[in-house]
Chain A
Amino acid sequence: MKKKVWVAVLAVLIAVVLGAFIWFVYFTGYDYSMADDDTVAVGDFTVAAGADGSGSLTVKEYNNDKKGVSGVQLNAEAGDESFFMWQIDGDYEIIAGNINNEVIRIAPKSDLKVLALYNDGVNAGPANFKIVFGSLNEGFVQTLKLFLITLLGAIPLGLIISFGSMSKFKPISAPVRVIVWIVRGSPLMLQLLIIFYMPGMLFGNNIWGGDETGRFWASAVAFILNYACYFSEIFRGGIQGVPIGQHEAGQVLGLSKSQIFFKVTLMQMIKRIVPPMSNEIITLVKDTSLARIIAMQEIIWAGQAFMKSSHGIHGIIWPLFSTGIYYLAFSGMLTLLFGWVEKKLDYFKV
């Protein structure tokens, strides 16, 4: 009975989330523009100043095979309140327009049929699916790359830092603990900015380079350093949590230090750190989005780009919201994976 209630609650939640998503796509996904690959520019030409003597207008000819329409696209500069009053050279005439919303209707002079509609209630959301999700997929690949590189770097570095902070030799343990305090005590976003911009400020040249690869590696370094410090504390807890008796039992059996570490304590340490590590790793999935502060093109960046303009689509917000699906799906997979690992380690107790 109780289980059924939970299943029902879960089903309702999933339905609400999916419903909200579909609503966003279908009711806010109006197409404000043509996609770039549908546009064939045949030449720009500027129209003379308006009746009030200000502003200018660029006209681009295009045709859209999918919609079977063609016409001209107008980009009016600010200050042109009444641009539809303009006389357009040659064959075209504006029949409606609003500069603030960039809503334009145009038609050839010879044929007053409306050729293209912008933001006129035609739902172009689904038509953009392929473009939007293609772009989100690209962003997610970057997210995954950053995630994996961070894990690969932060786990061994974290182990080294944990040994450093546990060292009985103060000149090693003291500075290591200070570094851990600084890294854990300040925002990751700030660390990203410092690591990306500081070398340029100090040495006069940006060692990362301004391109996407440079931004990726600057992000990777910041993430590895940050997560290594968090991991090191988890490792320290895991190592110190193994009872001293286990170590002594290994000693009286004549085992060497490395045999004791690898054959006796390591497995018990792993079992202890799986729950806190899974927590931290799932946090990492979401923290990768912070890399957009230095314009690394991860998935949130890709989604948000559509709010302005990306791949010839502008002014839509649902791609940004859709990025949540990627995070949920991926962290769901990780949750299952760690659950499986925990179950695999269930055969013994520590």
Chain B
Amino acid sequence: MAILEVKNIHKSFGRTEVLKGIDFTLEKGEVLSIIGSSGSGKTTLLRCLNSLEFADKGQIVVGGETIFDADINKRPSESELRQKRLHFGLVFQNFNLFPQYSVLDNVTLAPKLLKKGTNEEIEQTALELIESVGLKEKINNYPCELSGGQQQRVAIARALALKPEILCFDEPTSALDPELTGEVLKVIKSLADKHMTMIVVTHEMTFAHDVSDKVIFMDGGVIAEQGAPSILDHPESERLQSFLTSF
């Protein structure tokens, strides 16, 4: 059974319809890349999954549990919402690390506040995660002392600390220069190798091609084409063809 089922998601901001019926499924351990030009609705889709926005129509089902259904008018309570968000992790384009906390505290803050274990356990897990993203020697540094690529790797460790079922990346390398992009993509690839279920919104075509199990091309609020990464080599739709020639 699919770990994630997204059914007929519609979302408008005022009169602008950003998502016009999105359907897809994702199996456990798969990596899905979402590509498409700016304004095609990729980020809005991720925000709907993470309950930062609420779709106007459609359902989201995670592991058989319906976490969102637009037909149910009742807005979920604050605590329900917090539970639902924990199915997903989200890594932002501009990292959004907490500037006043050290690297270690950034990673341990949420697990400690949510009482996900004893402080020792949480710190132990955090240290392992920080080591796995290659920043063991930076645990006591503050975000302002790190490069963009290092900050993004901390952000990945922070998202992983809550053990999400699905980890989402919103253009994780768009704010980085090409040199730093590589180190972040390497971390994401290593997660893929460990069969972490991931949704990556990206403009890195090579990465999408090499790492993903599935690629979705979005255009104008709809999925214009989806399938195995090979669609990037042999695009069917004209729109995807012209999109890819721009790279």
A residues within 8 Å of B by Cβ? 243, 245-246, 248-249, 251-257, 259, 263-264, 267-268, 271, 347-350
Contact = CB atoms under 8 A, between A and B. Distances in A.
Contact of A264 (B88, B98, B158): B98
Nearest to A267: B100
Q: Max chain A CB contacts within 10 Å: which of B100, B144, B158?
A: B100
Interface string B132-153: 0000000000111000000000
B99 interface: yes
Interface in B9-32: none
A185 to B, nearest CB: 35
Q: Max chain B CB contacts within 10 Å: which of A246, A251, A253, A263?
A: A253
A267 B99 CA distance: 9
A263 B109 contact: yes
Given A246-B98, A254-B82, 14 more contacts: A243-B96, A245-B94, A248-B52, A251-B50, A252-B52, A252-B89, A252-B90, A252-B159, A254-B86, A254-B110, A254-B162, A255-B82, A259-B113, A347-B142
Contacts of A249: 92, 96-98
B96 A245 contact: yes
15 contacts: A243-B96, A249-B92, A251-B51, A252-B50, A252-B88, A254-B82, A254-B86, A255-B114, A256-B82, A257-B78, A267-B100, A268-B99, A348-B142, A348-B144, A350-B99
**Which bucket holds chain B's interface residue count?**
20 to 34
A112 B52 CA distance: 99
Contacts of A349: 99, 144
B154 to A, nearest CB: 12
A266 to B, nearest CB: 9
Contacts of B97: 249
Contacts of A268: 99-100
Nearest to A347: B142
A254 B143 contact: no
B92 A245 contact: yes
